[in-house]
A and B are shown apart, each in its own frame.
Chain A
């Protein structure tokens, strides 16, 4: 019997929507999902399984769908792994099935089914070893994984929104709506996140009334009241994780038709009312298309008018089977049989509603089979019948013709949002499932999340939780009377996990549909010694992937418990981790993509560099010119040329990125004495000094020049990009250790642009550019002196320093005059140089380039013994006396050159004593080709015992440069007496 597509009435608009599935055109109704539309067309096979490539159809009606994941769009801008029940149809939407080649009907890899024994649990740990993994890699990679990664983006980028509220309600089923209603009535600010596109949860198809009104009417009235009260209702929005009181919700309206959005929500109180996820039962071939969860079939019918089949067999372990059967019959479908694993005694216990309904159904021709189980789903590609037997005598099989088997093994409360931060679970007997336990004060469960499964209890529990949450958040209004609901009553579930089967048949009893994990796999894992559920999960892949165990974690754990002859409580389930359902990386990134990956800071001269061939690269957060294209074909050539020009004539560098902190107040000098290795108080006004900061443990933190602007005012410069960090460091001590002092600090990095003018021609050029008002100062300034004045009516500070080893000046100017000043220098004949050249100049002079300050070097390591001897009692000074800092194994900064004077040496290379040695005694921190010396030179940190000039060592760089014999040299490679700098 081949199932035909059926529409049995629908709440959807009748407007047709054309779409394409696997290249074939179909028509759905506006509001349909891909799942409902294809179901209505009678398309049962919608995908292939991951491992065995077995044909698969819809199991669920929600984002937990394990079988039918679709690839939307066409290459290269595809979107993979979209659950079919979430994909809302839009005009001419194009999507296709996954895990098949060349087609869904004819998949060559389905031959893997024959290798079921070979592909058992953990097969990838035991196979693909001979002759080597490489022999299999290409094939395995082509077969593995879900879907195909997109090569290009198509959708608009997602956004992030931060929200705060008094009460966040996760879920807008009856419990969630009741909770939101109670909280809103008290005056609390409420946000509701509902993963479905509509409110109401299972009220949509279940019977029952609330406050005397049918479910649909109550939903509409509550939604209207919540809107009036300003509650923010977010549909299509699932709470996917949380941490430290912050909840992350992911919105994907229409599956992907709308904007992806991440909500970062900080509520005062969080009510988890996210319902429960229905579980399947393991029986032979329970993955055959046509086997569907009972609740999913009800939803497709109620919301979309799409029937799972014409002739139904219902199989489960609770009373809801009978109410559902009545609804299917009312919709005109034929229910062939209700297979109830419970005995008559269990069914009658505690109530008569289901028994009465059963009698009525039987009178209507529905066969009711208590104490029975479906042993197997029969058929070809799709279900054509059910093999059924009494549990007391499983060999007394009989066949029931059907085109759909609707299964319900109970429900697992969706409590993930309460467990991501390490919360615990408690076993609830009434639902044979786990609920959150031991939750913090700000978090509470309600409704099915709290194991309440009948409508009256769900609504009452939700309302009480909402009111409690609102009160705790400070709301004082009255919530009014709680809604009174009446429904089918509790389902009176009796745990039943798997039907009887032979050990051989267990290979086709699927537990985790997405990962093809069967009862046989669980048995095998146990046999191989994996007894903990976490280990079993990893060995078998139970509950991994996009489905994340939503339908299978309790089922798998229960079957393990049966196999181990333990209780489900003793076995437990594996830990749930965020995200609870797939979230695109783009959604998490939000605005942080492309140019906005991280903020890029620009100097006042940025546009000039861009317009004049500057190759700009991020350095820390700053965009800096590495070199200028006019000076060479690449960074190396240009850097060498620019450095050579600075030594020969001169050049200008944009040094605006230099961190600058102004420190002022009566106690500024005394304060800075505590912050630097040498005394700031000894600096005269108009002078500056090279200074070093230590961490408390004695390691060097940063270095820079400190200028004394006035008796009570200093400018401390820091490494580029370190101003923020150093300001925090300074403020920490100003606010805590020496809080009584009169000292104040602020970051003035952007208030002063810096132009470095370096080279023999620098003074003469400045005389011409700055004008006669500056001539006297330019002649007067000695190394580390500075003068202040004005240029073009704005403040200008000229410091005689420059970190190039040349006669050099730093021009600190207000940003407003940075561009005209720079242009005037260019017009006067100076050309710019970039970071490559700066590094060359610094290495030649033995100045710290950057890699030397790695957080593990002391002043002694860097050759600053003389600074320490001055004895200033600053932060970190006391710990410099530790014996360990003086051992021979400590590093020492040295100069380094290739032994033959020709070979290349590169920063990062390891230093060893001989080529054969693998034990490093140091590493090269910085290296450059010196145009002045016509050879490669470097700075290196090597063990002190090997730091003597002339020591022969080997630079080992196997990935880039091989082994290079090197020789320790004086740290200062060029102009060791500083004659050029002092000229």
Chain B
């Protein structure tokens, strides 16, 4: 009788990154958003908006807290108008985050070494958490995960993933 400690699928994943990219953060003063000029940020906490290529453009990672990776000029303008309307504050955090992508059948098992990501993302698509002791914003994608790791931790985070890969 076989035990499922470990299946071949657990080894099948690919890690890309960390990559540097400009990121905006937006923090609303209240949630749900109040007093906005009709800008559509009406994604519920935990939701991720993606563009037609599947790239995450808006992550509502905690109530009223948004991450906007590589914001398009249009989205940046929308955020700016929200800020000017007193809905919240936009922070240009260029350099704060490094993005990684982990794809493949073993991505779940890899990250579950650090946290119960299955439970964490059971009813949402993104969350802010400490993974392998590093602060990250984690988002589920159809073939794995996108992660934004605080830049100073990024090298260590990647090394930890590589180490775990070696352990399997």
Contact = CB atoms under 8 A, between A and B. Distances in A.
A160 B28 CA distance: 37
B80 interface: no
B159 interface: yes
Interface in B7-40: 20, 25, 27-29
Contacts of A803: none
Nearest to B161: A591
B118 interface: yes
Nearest to B132: A591
Contact of A162 (B5, B20, B29, B115): B115
A164 B118 contact: yes
Nearest to A594: B163
Given A599-B156, A742-B29, A744-B89, A235 B133 contact: no
A751 B92 contact: yes
Interface stretch (A468-476, A536-544, A661-669, A893-901): A661-669
Contacts of B152: 601-603, 622, 749-750
B58 to A, nearest CB: 16
B52 interface: no
B113 interface: yes
Contacts, number: 144
A746 B27 contact: yes
Contacts of B166: 156
Given A199-B1, A664-B89, A746 B150 contact: no
Contacts of A977: none
B95 A159 contact: no
B157 interface: yes
B96 interface: yes
Contact of A161 (B3, B96, B109): B109
Contacts of B112: 161-163
B72 interface: no
B29 A253 contact: no
A816 interface: yes
Contact of B167 (A157, A163, A622, A749): A157
Interface string A188-199: 000000000111
Contact of B93 (A232, A251, A664, A748): A748
A815 B133 contact: no
A234 interface: yes
Given A599-B153, A744-B89, A236 B3 contact: yes
A49 B157 CA distance: 46
B5 A596 contact: no
A158 B166 CA distance: 10
B104 interface: no
Contacts of B97: 750
Contacts of B105: none
Contacts of B151: 604, 750, 815
B3 A235 contact: yes
Contacts of A744: 27-29, 88-89, 91
Given A234-B3, A814-B94, A815-B95, A596 B159 contact: yes
A665 B1 contact: no
B155 A596 contact: no
B134 A253 contact: no
Contact of A746 (B20, B25, B132): B25
A2 B89 CA distance: 86
A792 interface: no
A233 B1 contact: yes
Given A253-B3, A596-B160, A664 B91 contact: yes
A14 interface: no
A158 B3 contact: no
A598 B134 CA distance: 9
B150 to A, nearest CB: 6
B67 to A, nearest CB: 10
B29 A159 contact: no
Main secondary structure on B side of the interface with A: mixed
B151 to A, nearest CB: 4
Contact of B113 (A233, A235, A591, A602): A591
B119 interface: yes
Contact of B156 (A160, A162, A600, A603): A600
Contacts of B1: 198-199, 220, 223, 233, 235
Nearest to A748: B93
Interface in A209-247: 220, 223, 232-237
Interface in B76-108: 86, 88-89, 91-97
Contacts of A747: 96
B113 A160 contact: yes
A310 B129 CA distance: 62
B123 interface: no
A599 B132 contact: yes
A277 B163 CA distance: 38
B91 A748 contact: yes
Interface string A127-139: 0000000000000
A809 interface: no
A786 interface: no
B142 interface: no
Contacts of A197: 3
A259 interface: yes
A884 to B, nearest CB: 38
Contacts of A622: 152
Interface in B101-156: 109, 112-119, 132-135, 150-153, 155-156
Contacts of A603: 152
A603, A666, A750 pick with most chain B CB within 10 angstroms:
A750
Nearest to B135: A724
B5, B94, B114, B168 pick with most chain A CB within 10 angstroms:
B5
B116 A163 contact: yes
A253 B6 CA distance: 11
B89 A598 contact: no
A234 B4 contact: yes
A602 B151 CA distance: 8
A595 B5 contact: no
Interface string A655-693: 000000010111000000000000000000000000000
A591 B150 CA distance: 19
Contacts of A815: 20, 95, 151
A603 B95 CA distance: 11
B43 interface: no
A604 B152 CA distance: 8
Given A159-B168, A259-B6, A750-B152, A164 B92 contact: no
A478 B69 CA distance: 47
A358 interface: no
A162 B95 contact: no
A495 interface: no
B5 A164 contact: no
A261 interface: yes
A232 B4 contact: yes
Nearest to A158: B167
Contact of B163 (A164, A591, A601, A604): A591
A218 to B, nearest CB: 13
26 contacts: A161-B112, A162-B114, A197-B3, A232-B4, A233-B1, A233-B4, A235-B1, A259-B6, A264-B116, A591-B132, A599-B132, A599-B156, A664-B89, A742-B29, A743-B29, A744-B28, A744-B29, A744-B89, A746-B25, A747-B96, A748-B91, A750-B151, A751-B96, A753-B95, A815-B95, A816-B94
Given A259-B168, A591-B113, A814-B94, 11 more contacts: A197-B3, A223-B1, A591-B167, A599-B157, A599-B160, A601-B152, A622-B152, A662-B91, A664-B89, A748-B96, A815-B151
Q: What 6 pairs between A and B have smallest CB-CB spacing?
A: A601-B152, A162-B116, A815-B95, A235-B3, A744-B27, A164-B119
Interface of B: 1-6, 20, 25, 27-29, 86, 88-89, 91-97, 109, 112-119, 132-135, 150-153, 155-157, 159-160, 163-164, 166-168
